[in-house]
């Protein structure tokens, strides 16, 4: 293990080119050629930081595309960043969805980094909570480890409308949307009066050349539904509050946080690409160093 003051190989995950579809392992390359010094310049205020973990989040895929927007910058090829799914779950559930005790909450991509926390926050509020995910293993974990009342594998449901009506005979008050597309369309048919849809992500749509059409928006009128998109960066002022409360909850055993840990920076490209095929269970992390 390297420590401050040493000289070592600089292992880097390099983005080879801006991507078009979902990120693939082959869009990145791991390089170890160059030598770097781990010494902070004498007399400067710089410190040397040792990163133990890297975060892998779906939003990183969109930064690998070339697009222009005042609030977002593409990664320059050769640059990797981390996300904050915990604050995302916190802000999206408490601030955007404005939950009330006893409400019916549905979460898609429920075994992901964000969804697992939303479900547990909702249970702590006394809500009835249903999640969907893409494998039997994930569905089992939702029910056995994360305390969801119900869960289903969307890949095995031929009729998603029926699946939702089975889980929510009285309809949905809050939909925490991580996927968008067809599922969102069917959810609109099942929302209760004054229901809220917090749009956190639309992972099913990011890499389609033409996003799917949503046909049931007429239901927003009849049932007075609010659909609201949000971005975690708007809630950074709440970060320390969030951390304080959530770390307490974890210490007290009231919530758990599942992590899917991959060893070694050289495996980061596969871990990132895996997010888009649903490989991970819980938050995807890459261990860069073990101490």
| Closest of 3, 15, 11 to residue 39, by C-alpha | 3
CB of 191 to a second copy, least distance (A): 10
For the CB of residue 181, give the shortest distance to a second copy in the complex, in Å: 9
Is the CB of 34 or the CB of 210 nearer to a second copy? 210
Tokens 């902070």 label which residue? 40
Q: Which residue, 40 or 189, is less far from a second copy as judged by CB?
A: 189
Judge whether 284 and 271 are in contact, CB under 8 Å.
yes
Binding site for a second copy (CB under 8 A): 69, 71-72, 180, 184, 193, 199-202, 205-206, 210-231, 234
Q: How many whole angstroms from its chain centre is CA 279?
A: 13
Smallest gap from Cβ 202 to a second copy, in A, equals: 5
Burial label for 246, CB within 10 Å (0-12, 13-18, 19+), is buried
Question: How many Cα atoms sit within 13 Å of 248 on the Cβ side?
Answer: 6
Q: For residues 265 and 82, give the distance between their C-alpha atoms in angstroms, rounded to a whole number.
A: 14
Using DSSP's 3-state secondary structure scheme, residue 204 falls into coil
Residue pair 282/257 in contact by the 8 Å Cβ criterion: yes
Q: Which residue number, 142 or 184, has a Cβ lying nearer to a second copy?
A: 184
Query: CB-wise, 84 or 285, nearer to a second copy?
Result: 84
CB of 222 to a second copy, least distance (A): 7
CB of 32 to a second copy, least distance (A): 36
Nearer to a second copy, 231 or 247 (CB): 231
């Amino acid at each position: 293990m390297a420590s401050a003051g040493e000289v070592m190989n600089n292992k880097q995950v390099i983005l080879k080119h801006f991507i078009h579809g979902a990120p693939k392992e082959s869009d990145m390359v791991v390089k170890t050629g160059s030598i770097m010094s781990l010494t902070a310049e004498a007399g400067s205020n710089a410190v040397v930081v040792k990163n133990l973990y890297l975060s892998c989040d779906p939003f990183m895929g969109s930064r690998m595309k070339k697009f222009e927007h005042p609030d977002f910058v593409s990664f320059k090829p050769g640059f990797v960043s981390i996300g904050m799914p915990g604050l995302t779950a916190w802000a999206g559930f408490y601030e955007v969805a404005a939950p009330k005790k006893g409400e019916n909450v549905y979460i898609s991509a429920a075994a992901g980094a964000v969804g697992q926390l939303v479900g547990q926050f909702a249970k702590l509020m006394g809500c009835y909570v249903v999640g969907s995910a893409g494998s039997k293993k994930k569905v089992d974990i939702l029910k056995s480890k994360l305390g969801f009342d119900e869960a289903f594998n969307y890949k095995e449901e031929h009729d998603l409308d029926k699946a939702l009506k089975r889980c929510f005979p009285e309809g949905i008050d809050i939909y925490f949307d991580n996927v968008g597309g067809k599922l969102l369309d069917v959810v609109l048919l099942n929302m209760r009066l004054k229901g809220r849809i917090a749009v956190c992500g639309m992972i099913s749509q990011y890499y389609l050349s033409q996003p799917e059409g949503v046909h049931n928006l007429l239901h927003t009128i009849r049932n007075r539904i609010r659909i609201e998109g949000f971005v975690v960066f708007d809630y950074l002022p709440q970060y320390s509050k969030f951390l304080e409360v959530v770390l307490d909850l974890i210490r007290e055993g009231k919530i758990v946080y599942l992590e899917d840990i991959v060893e070694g920076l050289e495996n980061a490209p596969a871990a990132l690409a895996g997010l888009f095929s649903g490989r991970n269970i819980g938050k995807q992390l890459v261990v860069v160093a073990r101490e």
